[in-house]
């Protein structure tokens, strides 16, 4: 399995070592394979400080590693006992954050088939979608990647193998605490299920694999649908021509692509309703958790939710001023941007959001255009207009991000200039 995952000569594997039977057997198995497969083996233990026995577990891990000649890194972490997600989830979060800090190519975990069955039941009971029902993967590429070589093995077989090999391990007394949801599933629900379906655990693990395969197909379908609808910016019309399930699948896929967990089914259904029912041509900005679903002139895209509107700042020649979730940089140029000489003669210079009556002439001899007209011409969607930085010199607009420099302020060829550049992370309006 390790070779099939691409674990090659010279790779560094880190065994995530809790000190329990699964990861102790895993450690010994990996230690036995390291020479044949040519990888380097290290181990990491996370000391949560939650159990009175936590020091003993850390000491046991240190002893095992010393005997096998494996270097062990121990992380002392603080778990917030009042975490709203619960103690188990809080411990898991800090544990994974600590393990991600290990310098290695692969983190190797001792999860087994019974863990997989519990994970599947746990997620289904909480209304998982196809992705969640896929449970844990044996191989998760990444930096570092994750491996679970024991995922196909029953817990009882692992315990038997560890006893046969004369290994020693620690027992986490919290595993017996039925107040923890996962333990209640392990000790109450699964045994009840196995009394009716003796092969429930391997069957649930197979179901997870089936879901995982279905999830891959859904991803492939979403990628095809994205192309069909125009690529990065989707055509709202083409998107709305898709059947509901495919439209929502595509939006979920896009959310994950932006590193955000998809919103609830109810939220997606509501987004879809508004997309379908709003008159074509009307700009839309629909909340989607940490993101917003934006539609402007039939183009649809997802972007980070906007922070509070920026406020006016006095500019005294700084090379950079913070602006909303980004900044405006003032670059020294030759022949581009605003005339440095004209700016030098100015009284008060402000970086400001739009103000009532704001208008600007872009070309000499042409009429002044209202801010709204300028934005429409430049394709700036309405919700971005309050955020566009405007350089205001003695009450007059001389530069608007994404629109340009006012006539009379433009730098002549070869003349020293100042070019303001709006650097803005999540906003993808194409405004500079
Ligand atoms: N304190 C720890 N330090 C290092 N590794 C750990 C620790 N606890 C658990 N692990 C690793 O995680 C595997 C699974 O452990 P366990 O079943 O207790 O965690 P889980 O909460 O179900 O899983 P996960 O943390 O992946 O959600 C272990 O076999 C081990 O490899």
Confirm whether 12-206 and 229-304 share one CATH topology: no
The helix or strand, by DSSP H or E, that contains position 154, with its residue range, turns out to be none
Ligand 1 centroid vs 244 CA: distance in angstroms?
A: 39
Ligand 1 atom with minimal separation from the 23 CA? 29
Q: In CATH, which of 3.40.50.510, 3.40.50.620, 3.40.920.10, 3.40.50.10490 is domain 12-206?
A: 3.40.50.620
pLDDT at 2: 83
Interhelix angle 244-257/200-228, nearest 10 degrees: 90
- The binding site for ATP comprises 18-23
The helix or strand, by DSSP H or E, that contains position 400, with its residue range, turns out to be strand 396-400
Query: Where does ligand 1 bind, in terms of residues with CB under 6 Å?
Result: 16-18, 22-23, 44-46, 92, 95, 109-111, 115
The domains of the chain are located at 12-206, 229-304, 313-423
pLDDT at 183: 87
Helices (H), 288-370: 340-344
Record: fold of 229-304: 3.30.465
pLDDT at 173: 76
Ligand 1 centroid vs 18 CA: distance in angstroms?
A: 6
- Best mutation site among 13, 14, 16, 186 for ligand 1 pocket (most ligand atoms within 8 Å of CB): 16
pLDDT at 53: 86
The percent of residues in the chain predicted with pLDDT above 90, rounded, is 82
User: Which residue's CA lies nearest to atom 14 of ligand 1?
Assistant: 111
Q: Please write the tens of the pLDDT for every residue from 372-408.
A: 999 999 999 998 899 999 999 999 999 999 999 999 9
Tokens 């002044």, located at residue: 368
Cα angle, residue 49 at apex, residues 46 and 54 outer, rounded to 5°: 75
Below-50 pLDDT ranges, the chain: 426-432
Per-residue exposure over 57-82, b if at least 16 CB sit within 10 Å of its own CB, e if not: bbebbbebbeebebebbbbeeebeee
- Best mutation site among 23, 94, 150 for ligand 1 pocket (most ligand atoms within 8 Å of CB): 23
User: Which residue's CA lies nearest to atom 10 of ligand 1?
Assistant: 18
CB of 149 closer than 8 Å to CB of 26: yes
Ligand 1 centroid vs 173 CA: distance in angstroms?
A: 14
Ligand 1 centroid vs 271 CA: distance in angstroms?
A: 37
pLDDT at 426: 47
Q: Tell me, what's the ipTM?
A: 0.96
Cα angle, residue 190 at apex, residues 107 and 118 outer, rounded to 5°: 25
């Amino acid at each position: 399995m390790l070779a099939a995952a691409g674990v090659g000569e010279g790779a560094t594997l880190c065994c995530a070592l809790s000190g329990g039977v699964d990861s102790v057997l895993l450690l010994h198995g990996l230690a036995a394979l390291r020479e044949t497969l040519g990888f380097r083996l290290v181990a990491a233990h996370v000391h949560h400080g939650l159990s009175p026995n936590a020091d003993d577990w850390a000491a046991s891990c240190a002893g095992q590693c010393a005997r096998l000649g494996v270097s062990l890194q121990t992380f002392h972490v603080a778990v917030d006992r009042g975490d709203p997600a619960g103690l188990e989830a809080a411990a898991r979060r800090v544990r994974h954050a600590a393990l991600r800090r290990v310098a290695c190519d692969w983190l190797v975990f001792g999860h087994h088939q019974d863990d997989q069955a519990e994970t599947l039941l746990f997620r289904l009971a909480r209304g998982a979608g196809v992705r969640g029902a896929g449970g844990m993967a044996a191989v998760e590429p990444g930096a570092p990647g994750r491996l679970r070589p024991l995922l196909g093995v029953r817990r009882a077989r692992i315990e038997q193998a560890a006893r046969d090999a004369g290994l020693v391990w620690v027992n986490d007394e919290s595993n017996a605490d039925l107040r923890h949801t996962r333990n209640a599933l392990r000790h109450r629900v699964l045994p009840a299920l196995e009394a009716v379906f003796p092969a429930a655990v391997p069957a649930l693990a197979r179901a997870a694999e089936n879901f995982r395969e279905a999830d891959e197909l859904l991803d492939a379908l979403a990628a095809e649908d994205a192309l069909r609808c125009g690529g990065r910016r989707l055509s709202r019309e083409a998107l709305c021509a898709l059947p509901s399930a495919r439209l929502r699948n595509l939006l979920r896929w896009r959310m994950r692509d932006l590193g955000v967990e998809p919103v609830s089914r109810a939220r997606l259904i509501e987004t879809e309703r508004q997309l379908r029912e709003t008159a074509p041509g009307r700009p839309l900005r629909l909340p989607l958790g940490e993101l917003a679903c934006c539609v402007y002139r039939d183009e649809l895209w997802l972007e980070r939710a906007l922070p509070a509107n920026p406020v006016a700042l006095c500019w005294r020649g700084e090379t950079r001023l913070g602006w909303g979730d980004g900044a405006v940089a003032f670059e020294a140029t030759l022949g581009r941007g605003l005339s440095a000489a004209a700016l030098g003669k100015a009284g008060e210079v402000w970086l400001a959001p739009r103000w009532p009556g704001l208008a600007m002439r872009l070309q000499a001899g042409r009429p002044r255009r209202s801010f709204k007209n300028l934005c429409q011409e430049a394709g700036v969607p309405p919700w971005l207009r309050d955020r566009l930085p405007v350089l205001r010199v003695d009450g007059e607009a001389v530069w608007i991000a994404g629109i340009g420099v006012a006539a009379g302020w433009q730098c002549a060829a070869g003349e020293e200039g100042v070019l303001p550049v709006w650097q803005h992370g999540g906003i993808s309006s194409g405004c500079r």
